[in-house]
A and B are shown apart, each in its own frame.
Chain A
Amino acid sequence: GIQVEQSPPDLILQEGANSTLRCNFSDSVNNLQWFHQNPWGQLINLFYIPSGTKQNGRLSATTVATERYSLLYISSSQTTDSGVYFCAVYTNAGKSTFGDGTTLTVKP
């Protein structure tokens, strides 16, 4: 099946810093989503982004489908950005695969 690799696995930032999270996938996909799981376990869907670039406040995401990767940018990080960021891909065959996540810790 499709492989999804996220990097880095862990990231520690000082408040106010910027960061880039990466998601590589091994096959063509027709849907890619980024999720944030906060330290209390709640999941939030950040972006639906099978291709192109989207922005939502301090967060933006870019997917280059032809090169099989997606990037999540966090600017001016805040302590509330802490948690685990997952990417999930969905293929034409109806399969979905999640990456193992990047654990982000933002220190005040």
Chain B
Amino acid sequence: DAGVIQSPRHEVTEMGQEVTLRCKLISGHNSLFWYRQTMMRGLELLIYFNNNVPIDDSGMPEDRFSAKMPNASFSTLKIQPSEPRDSAVYFCASSFFVGARLYSNQPQHFGDGTRLSIL
């Protein structure tokens, strides 16, 4: 089975442009996590979906960031307008949610990440 697929792998764009990052979940998974990793702030959870519904978006840094799941197998993370401080590696991970807990007890499977540079 294919793993979590992220695209693009690398993106370089100028400040002010819209950036769209994409993530395809593993077939059958119903939880989706977006993470950001920077040298300054380390790894941060941005947003978490269960069954296409955003459960926790408290990590989304500001209104310039938005995430959606237009269907059960796909998600996008948009930054508009982008700023140099948004430069980071963005990971998505999928999992299978079981039960009523806020966070699944199943392992998360990560994509290879998108390295984003905003000039």
Contacts and interface: CB of A to CB of B under 8 A. Distances in A.
Contacts of B58: 94-95
Contacts of A44: 110
Interface in B8-67: 42-45, 55-56, 58-59
A73 interface: no
Nearest to B57: A94
Contacts of A98: 42-45
Contacts of A101: 42
A30 B110 contact: no
Given A42-B112, A94-B55, A95-B58, A48 B102 contact: no
A30 B102 contact: yes
Interface in A48-106: 48, 50, 86, 88, 90, 92, 94-96, 98-101
Contact of B103 (A30, A41, A43, A45): A30
A46 to B, nearest CB: 8
Nearest to A99: B42
5 contacts: A42-B110, A92-B102, A98-B45, A99-B42, A101-B42
Given A94-B55, A99-B42, A100-B42, 20 more contacts: A30-B102, A31-B102, A31-B103, A41-B89, A42-B110, A43-B93, A44-B110, A45-B108, A48-B107, A88-B43, A92-B102, A94-B56, A94-B58, A94-B102, A95-B56, A96-B56, A98-B42, A98-B44, A98-B45, A101-B42
